[in-house]
Chain A
Amino acid sequence: MKMKLGLAGAFLALGIAATAHGDAETAAWAPETFTLDNGMEVVVLPDHRAPVVTHMVWYKVGAVDEAQGKSGIAHLFEHVMFTETDDLPPGEFDSIISRNGGQLNAFTSWDYTAYFERVAVDRLELMMELEAERMTDLIINDDPEGPFISERDVVKEERRQRVENNPGSLLFEQVMAALYEGHPYSIPVIGFMDEVSALTPQDGLDFYTTWYAPEHAILIVAGDVTGEDVLTLAEKTYGQIPASGIERPDRGWGPVADLTESETIVYSDPKVRQPEWDRYYISTSYRQDADLAYALAVGLDAMGGGLTSPLYQALVEEQKIAVSASAWNFFSLHDRGLAGLSASPAPGTDLDTLEAAVMGEIASILEAGLSEEDISRSGRLLAASAIYGLDSQSAMANTYGRALSTGASIEDVMEAPERFRAVTAEQANAALRALFVEDQHHITARLLPEEGL
């Protein structure tokens, strides 16, 4: 083990200080960063209000990395990470943490998989030992009646609960398939039922040995610690793991393509009582084009982000043909993300009328252009939400983890409030007009009650 504290850390800290963020929202949680010898990144977010920490390990692997026909393996594997290791018999991982007053969980997305524990600060080293243990010494039991198989059944129940019991989720799967044809974002993170049913312990082992290694992981510790505390403990635990040296496979897909035609997907279900209308556009992400993403995020918020927005005011308050109407973005992805419009009709309004009214309102907002006042209000509100976010230790850890694992930097996170505030009306209007231009293709989703209802 060699201390490599780093110059990387010191320079980064200087870099941050030099970027003139004297604002309170960035000073409160000034992060410290290091890289261990094995390539594992470390981010420390000191918060001394309570003697507790949020300890997270983010792996830069997710559902996009699944082999053809193996949908759901990234997520099922996340479940399997809680079963057993060389040193920890079945169930012991969770038991040890619980007996130490810790809470734990994990989550999987397209671009990342994250594991976390929340615990009293004097147990931080134990959490690191446990996470380091399962980074290298996981046992995947291949007993056909064993824990891999019962966990697969659990995931199938999870899919029923999240997706198959929910008509809106079933429709969303079809929408994503149409939006991202040829790109892995088209495949649901939880996987297709038939493919999940066919996953084997060998699939789990393959996934583990290919992707789980310190050089593909980011450690985030938020809470009652200093950078020095964390570095010492991280070197003792994660620092003992050699880099795997395994080349990550070529992800094997190209950039997200523009849509070549517009399509409307209709889904009817006897459980639907309230119709919903959504229109989705392939757009950008903070990673792909930050300037455009910030301009659009602020512009979409000013156009339809809240109760005072012109879209909501026109459809809900004035015309009274909708009970909700909004414009939104999903830009926290590695590849191109989505922008969209959503509305739910007032009783007695059909979706044709609603769609025409929404698009008519968008056209008139764009024609008039959003004012400098509208844009600066949205910019300030989005920046302020970063200040309110400072209250939650786990939210802060999540914000940095998600950003870093989708290709952004520490500075990108710290600069976000300022970038929201810096968007001008000219930039926002130009970005919105390019997004909603007449011949832009889109996918429209209509969720409807069963015929005849």
Chain B
Amino acid sequence: MLKRNWATGCAAVLALGLSACGGGSSATDVDATSTLDVNVHEGDFAQIASFTTPGGVSVWLVDEPSIPIVSFQVAWPGGRSADPEGLEGLSQALVYMMNEGAGELPSLEFTRAMEDQAMSFGCSNGRTWTSCSASMLSESAEESMELVALAMSEPRFDEQPFERFRREQDVSLARRETNAGFLGNEALQAALYPDHPFARNVTAESLEALTREAIATQKDAVMVKEGMIVTAVGDISPEEFAPLIDSVLAGLPETGSVADVAPVEMSDPTAAPIVVDLPQPQSRVSFMAKGPSRDDPDFYPSVVLNYTLGGGGFESRLMQELRVDRGLTYGVGTSLSGAPLFSTWSGGGQTKNESTGEFIEVLKSILAEMSETGVTEAELSDAKAYLTGSYPLSFDSNSKIAGNMMSVRQQGLGIAHFDQRNAKIEAVTLDDVKRVAETYLSPENFTFAVVGQPEGL
């Protein structure tokens, strides 16, 4: 069966005029070594090889020989917000269908073929990115990559899995009606950015309007070489990886069409909490305000401030006051999105219905105090010590390294980011923190949504 896969996948790649399709024996037969220009970045946390393959694929790779696994991720600009109006769910259908059959292999046979290699391949998306990833055993990397190549070049988009996708989505639509997380988010969307593409949700009507033709069109609009980035970690060298990834991606269309998304302009905050009734004993409180974008000078001071506010586990003021001292919650926290299109400072926690009023009141008083006085010298130094000292923990597995590299590439931060990041944290001063606390943390900036049957609001 694999012989047949290879022949099919290879034919498709050859048809596009690429040389990376290595004969019947091995993809590494292609002599990439003479042409591959590899830059090696000797970073503090990882040694990253960056190169562009003969097929024009831009790759960051960490060669990690200690475990016999190879994993890669590929990402393209354009995610859920790229769905045409009225076709919400289209890009979700696309990522669902990408591993549901390719070439002459319908869904079942394709999945079996992946199982035969003990490999995995699948795609996913967020608001503004679409990505696919694969993990395989290094001993069968070539056979595994043949399957991925087939999926990328000749996805079948069959009726059977497409109908299954719709049935599953129907169930999801029903489930989300009582999902507190979804309901809270929906309330914040409606209050703060109702007309932005990020506020569009899948509906029964938009699901009904999806077609397999639209999915194929969306693939060619999004999964293209322009803007495409690849990261890989595993038991493999750049010279071995280049022809394999070319067989997967070099044949994609050069350019596509993804509509630009404008930054979110949030409406003014709502004075009173928005309440969504849900019959359960505990309320879910979420809150959101504008935050700094990661390219804003306020960003790193805000990262440091957020640790003390609600990012630092038990050490944060919110956890100390609401959990440790008052026993009002199992967990409460805050985070910064930093996203240039939608930079927020948001948070959430859960408390029994009876104490929801107190929970929000105390939360607001902590925000007010911090916005007025910032943090103490000791809090600043504790925050920096944790944020810099714990950074190596983000690099202790292949999957974390691959994920971090992808995130850095998506944000355009540059290959030296990992090495520079701690210095940016260290450079934050008490005055910086005080300034951003004043700018962002006033409780009036935040809109609250409460899902449950809260009392005392």
Interface residue ranges, A against B (CB under 8 Å): 24-25, 28, 47-52, 82, 91, 94-95, 98-103, 118-120, 147, 149-158, 160-161, 164-165, 223, 270-274, 306-308, 313, 316-317, 320, 323, 344, 346-347, 377, 380-381, 384, 387-388, 390-393
A161-B352 Cα distance, complex, nearest whole Å:
9
B352 contacts which of A152, A160, A344 (Cβ < 8 Å)? A160
16 contacts between A and B (CB under 8 A): A28-B68, A98-B385, A99-B389, A100-B385, A101-B389, A101-B390, A149-B327, A156-B352, A157-B329, A160-B281, A161-B330, A273-B174, A306-B111, A347-B170, A387-B68, A391-B399
User: With an 8 A cutoff between CB atoms, is B396 at the interface?
Assistant: yes
A317-B164 Cα distance, complex, nearest whole Å:
8
A95 contacts which of B382, B392, B396 (Cβ < 8 Å)? B382
Which chain B residue shows the least CB distance to A153?
B327
A384 touching B167, Cβ below 8 Å = no
A102 touching B390, Cβ below 8 Å = yes
B352 touching A98, Cβ below 8 Å = no
A306 touching B115, Cβ below 8 Å = yes
Set of chain B residues within 8 Å of A387, measured between Cβ atoms: 67-69, 118, 137
User: With an 8 A cutoff between CB atoms, is B160 at the interface?
Assistant: yes
Set of chain B residues within 8 Å of A25, measured between Cβ atoms: 68
A120 touching B327, Cβ below 8 Å = no
User: With an 8 A cutoff between CB atoms, is B351 at the interface?
Assistant: yes
User: With an 8 A cutoff between CB atoms, is B312 at the interface?
Assistant: yes
Interface-lining segment among B74-82, B175-183, B189-197, B207-215: B175-183
Set of chain A residues within 8 Å of B178, measured between Cβ atoms: 270-273
Set of chain A residues within 8 Å of B444, measured between Cβ atoms: none
A313-B325 Cα distance, complex, nearest whole Å:
53
Which chain A residue shows the least CB distance to B174?
A273
A160 touching B399, Cβ below 8 Å = no
Which chain A residue shows the least CB distance to B135?
A388
Set of chain A residues within 8 Å of B313, measured between Cβ atoms: 94, 98, 103
A164 touching B280, Cβ below 8 Å = yes
Beyond known contacts A103-B390, A164-B281, A387-B68: 14 more, CB 8 A cutoff: A101-B389, A154-B330, A157-B350, A158-B330, A160-B282, A161-B350, A271-B278, A274-B171, A274-B174, A308-B108, A346-B167, A377-B112, A391-B67, A391-B397
A346-B352 Cα distance, complex, nearest whole Å:
34
B69 contacts which of A99, A118, A390 (Cβ < 8 Å)? A390
- With A161-B282, A380-B118, A388-B135 in contact, is A150–B392 under 8 Å at CB? no
User: With an 8 A cutoff between CB atoms, is B438 at the interface?
Assistant: no
A165-B279 Cα distance, complex, nearest whole Å:
9
**Chain B 238-267 per-residue mask, 1 if CB under 8 angstroms from chain A, else 0:** 000000000000000000000000000000
Which chain B residue shows the least CB distance to A147?
B324
Separation in Å of the B414 CB from the closest CB of chain A? 21
Which chain B residue shows the least CB distance to A307?
B111
A377 contacts which of B107, B116, B137, B174 (Cβ < 8 Å)? B116
Separation in Å of the B386 CB from the closest CB of chain A? 5
User: With an 8 A cutoff between CB atoms, is B388 at the interface?
Assistant: yes
Separation in Å of the B252 CB from the closest CB of chain A? 26
Which chain B residue shows the least CB distance to A384?
B118
Which chain A residue shows the least CB distance to B139?
A24
Set of chain A residues within 8 Å of B315, measured between Cβ atoms: 94-95, 98
B118 touching A152, Cβ below 8 Å = no
**Chain B 301-339 per-residue mask, 1 if CB under 8 angstroms from chain A, else 0:** 000000000001111000010011111111000000000
Set of chain A residues within 8 Å of B326, measured between Cβ atoms: 150, 153
User: With an 8 A cutoff between CB atoms, is B66 at the interface?
Assistant: yes
B327 contacts which of A98, A150, A273, A347 (Cβ < 8 Å)? A150
Interface residue ranges, B against A (CB under 8 Å): 45, 64, 66-69, 107-108, 111-112, 115-116, 118, 135, 137, 160, 163-164, 167-168, 170-171, 174-175, 177-178, 180, 278-282, 312-315, 320, 323-330, 350-352, 382, 385-386, 388-393, 395-399
A17-B325 Cα distance, complex, nearest whole Å:
52
B324 touching A28, Cβ below 8 Å = no
A28 touching B67, Cβ below 8 Å = yes
Q: Which of A28, A50, A391 has the most CB of B within 10 A?
A: A391
Which chain B residue shows the least CB distance to A165?
B280
A323 touching B167, Cβ below 8 Å = yes
A51 contacts which of B168, B171, B385, B392 (Cβ < 8 Å)? B392
Separation in Å of the A313 CB from the closest CB of chain B? 7
- With A118-B393, A161-B350, A387-B69 in contact, is A101–B386 under 8 Å at CB? yes
A160 touching B350, Cβ below 8 Å = yes
B382 touching A99, Cβ below 8 Å = yes
Set of chain A residues within 8 Å of B163, measured between Cβ atoms: 320
Q: Which of A91, A377, A384 has the most CB of B within 10 A?
A: A384
B66 touching A48, Cβ below 8 Å = yes
Separation in Å of the A169 CB from the closest CB of chain B? 12
B386 contacts which of A98, A154, A157 (Cβ < 8 Å)? A98
Q: Which of A49, A147, A158, A377 has the most CB of B within 10 A?
A: A49
B69 touching A91, Cβ below 8 Å = no
B115 contacts which of A273, A347, A381, A388 (Cβ < 8 Å)? A381
A193-B325 Cα distance, complex, nearest whole Å:
21
B388 touching A101, Cβ below 8 Å = yes
Set of chain A residues within 8 Å of B399, measured between Cβ atoms: 391-392
A98-B315 Cα distance, complex, nearest whole Å:
8
Set of chain B residues within 8 Å of A274, measured between Cβ atoms: 171, 174-175
Set of chain A residues within 8 Å of B280, measured between Cβ atoms: 164-165, 271
Set of chain A residues within 8 Å of B328, measured between Cβ atoms: 153, 157
Set of chain A residues within 8 Å of B118, measured between Cβ atoms: 380-381, 384, 387
Q: Which of B69, B279, B392 has the most CB of A within 10 A?
A: B392
Set of chain A residues within 8 Å of B164, measured between Cβ atoms: 316-317, 323
A223 touching B396, Cβ below 8 Å = yes
A313-B109 Cα distance, complex, nearest whole Å:
12
A391 touching B386, Cβ below 8 Å = no
Separation in Å of the A289 CB from the closest CB of chain B? 27
A154 touching B115, Cβ below 8 Å = no
A347 touching B352, Cβ below 8 Å = no
Set of chain A residues within 8 Å of B137, measured between Cβ atoms: 384, 387
A317 touching B168, Cβ below 8 Å = no
A82-B281 Cα distance, complex, nearest whole Å:
27
Separation in Å of the A89 CB from the closest CB of chain B? 13
Set of chain B residues within 8 Å of A95, measured between Cβ atoms: 315, 382
Set of chain A residues within 8 Å of B175, measured between Cβ atoms: 273-274
B382 contacts which of A98, A152, A164 (Cβ < 8 Å)? A98
- With A101-B390, A160-B352 in contact, is A49–B64 under 8 Å at CB? yes
Set of chain A residues within 8 Å of B320, measured between Cβ atoms: 91
Which chain A residue shows the least CB distance to B307?
A98
B330 touching A49, Cβ below 8 Å = no
B279 touching A344, Cβ below 8 Å = no
Set of chain A residues within 8 Å of B281, measured between Cβ atoms: 160, 164-165
B392 touching A393, Cβ below 8 Å = no
A377-B114 Cα distance, complex, nearest whole Å:
11
Set of chain A residues within 8 Å of B116, measured between Cβ atoms: 377
Separation in Å of the A331 CB from the closest CB of chain B? 21
A198-B340 Cα distance, complex, nearest whole Å:
50
Separation in Å of the A38 CB from the closest CB of chain B? 30
